[in-house]
């Protein structure tokens, strides 16, 4: 498959934005940013595959998508652990004094 020359693509790449969102989601533990990086990364890769965006940015978009996936999974695991400890603490009566 041949691609047009740089500047000849109908859509601008969002690869840098995706990478920034992925990194911020990992550093700030912000679940919505991780989800956004994941979804935007998938769309960017589809646009690159269809020839609408520059394929030179594929690595950047994929890195941001993967970081978004990792941040999302870590955020969900953290929430599950938090809720498990809260449930366990409430069921054992340990947190009764905290919530009075």
**pLDDT of 13-60, one tens digit each?**
999 999 999 999 999 989 999 999 999 999 999 999 999 999 999 999
Question: Six-digit token pair at 93?
Answer: 């009566």
For residue 52, what are its two tokens? 């609408």
pLDDT in tens, 57-94: 999 999 999 999 999 999 999 999 999 988 887 777 76
- Give 17's contacts (C-beta < 8 A, 6+ positions apart): 40, 64
Q: What is the pTM of this model?
A: 0.81
CA atoms within 13 A on the CB side of 91: 6
């Amino acid at each position: 498959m041949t691609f047009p020359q740089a500047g000849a693509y109908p859509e601008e790449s969002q690869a840098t934005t995706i990478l920034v969102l992925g990194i911020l989601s990992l550093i700030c533990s912000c679940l919505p940013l991780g989800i956004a990086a994941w979804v935007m990364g998938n769309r960017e890769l589809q646009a690159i595959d269809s020839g609408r965006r520059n394929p030179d940015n594929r690595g950047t978009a994929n890195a941001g998508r993967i970081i978004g996936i990792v941040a999302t999974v870590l955020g969900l695991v953290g929430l599950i652990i938090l809720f498990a400890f809260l449930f366990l603490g409430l069921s054992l009566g340990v947190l009764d004094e905290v919530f009075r």
